[in-house]
């Protein structure tokens, strides 16, 4: 019969606490102070959607001063800025696909998922309304507030695949740089912003590049462009889940090959 030492019991208690309170994105403490965290998610998603949507409206006007590439950069820069600003408060998910992916891999408590998702969807709606107001109401007619729809000739299956793949890219970067202690902390906001820009560069001409159910939901609801909304709500979640499980089960446990010692 064996007995555990006091240090063994201490390690077990620490492990139990880690399971109950997993480390969140950007050093946040998920599931604590939920009202504050949900408010941060509303604010962050509001800024993200406002930045991209307002820029898309400006690019779509007859007197446009922006190139379309500015829309991509607006989303990427806004995400990087919000990650640096709010990451320590809520984890700065700003995306239901990110929240659900973290919950599935036990890096975020399920009890906090509904509050985060509702906050993100609300932030998307508020951001779209604000962008509409910025351009005195014309944004709804110019580009339907940048509501995402498949390009002409793009089928539902192709659009679903593209949105899933680009969200896979985003979530793979997010879950790596913002949860793995081996990654320098200061790199995370820049990396996730660059990942979002890359994803939209890839998907923009095909699907509009939502990469985020909340980003698709806000403009679609406010502009009334809801025909393909289901696709943009489901496909990013599928891609995000695949990325999270892949990193958690296969990539994170690995380490670089050890150097060969000279004899």
Radius of gyration of the chain measured on its C-alpha atoms:
20
Could you tell me which residue, 227 or 179, shows the higher pLDDT? 227
Q: In whole angstroms, what separates CA 239 from the centre of its chain?
A: 12
Q: Which phi and psi angles does 181 have, rounded to 5°? A: -65, -15
Helices (H) and strands (E) in the chain, counts: 10, 0
- The answer on pLDDT for 254 being more than 90 is no
Share of the chain above pLDDT 70, in %: 84
Model pLDDT, residue 127: 96
Q: What tens digit of pLDDT does each residue of 211-252 get?
A: 999 999 999 999 999 999 999 999 999 999 999 999 999 988
pTM assigned to the model: 0.85
Structure tokens at 236: 């990013």
Could you tell me which residue, 23 or 58, shows the higher pLDDT? 58
Q: Which of 68-82, 135-149, 156-170, 234-248 is predicted with the least confidence, judged by mean pLDDT? A: 135-149
- The answer on pLDDT for 207 being more than 90 is yes
Model pLDDT, residue 154: 96
Model pLDDT, residue 243: 97
- The answer on pLDDT for 108 being more than 50 is yes
């Amino acid at each position: 019969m064996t007995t555990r030492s006091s240090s063994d019991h201490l390690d077990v208690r620490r492990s139990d606490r880690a399971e109950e309170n997993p480390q969140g994105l950007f050093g946040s403490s998920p599931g604590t102070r939920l009202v504050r965290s949900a408010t941060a998610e509303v604010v962050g998603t509001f800024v993200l959607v406002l930045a991209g949507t307002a820029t898309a409206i400006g690019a779509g006007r007859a007197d446009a001063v922006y190139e379309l590439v500015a829309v991509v950069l607006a989303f990427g820069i806004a995400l990087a800025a919000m990650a640096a600003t709010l990451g320590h408060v809520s984890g700065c998910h700003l995306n239901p696909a990110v929240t659900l992916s973290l919950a599935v891999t036990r890096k975020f408590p399920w009890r906090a998922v509904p509050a985060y998702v509702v906050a993100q969807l609300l932030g998307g709606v508020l951001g779209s309304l604000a962008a509409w107001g910025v351009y005195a109401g014309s944004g709804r007619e110019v580009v339907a507030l940048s509501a995402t729809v498949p390009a002409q000739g793009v089928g539902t299956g192709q659009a679903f695949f593209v949105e899933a793949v680009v969200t896979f890219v985003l979530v793979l970067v997010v879950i790596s740089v913002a949860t793995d202690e081996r990654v320098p902390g200061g790199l995370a906001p820049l990396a996730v912003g660059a990942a979002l820009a890359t994803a939209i560069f890839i998907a923009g001409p095909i699907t509009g590049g939502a990469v985020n159910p909340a980003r698709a939901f806000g403009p679609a609801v406010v502009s009334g462009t809801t025909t393909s909304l289901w696709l943009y709500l489901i496909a990013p979640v599928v891609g995000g889940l695949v990325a999270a499980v892949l990193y958690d089960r296969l990539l994170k446990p690995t380490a670089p090959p050890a150097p060969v010692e000279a004899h």
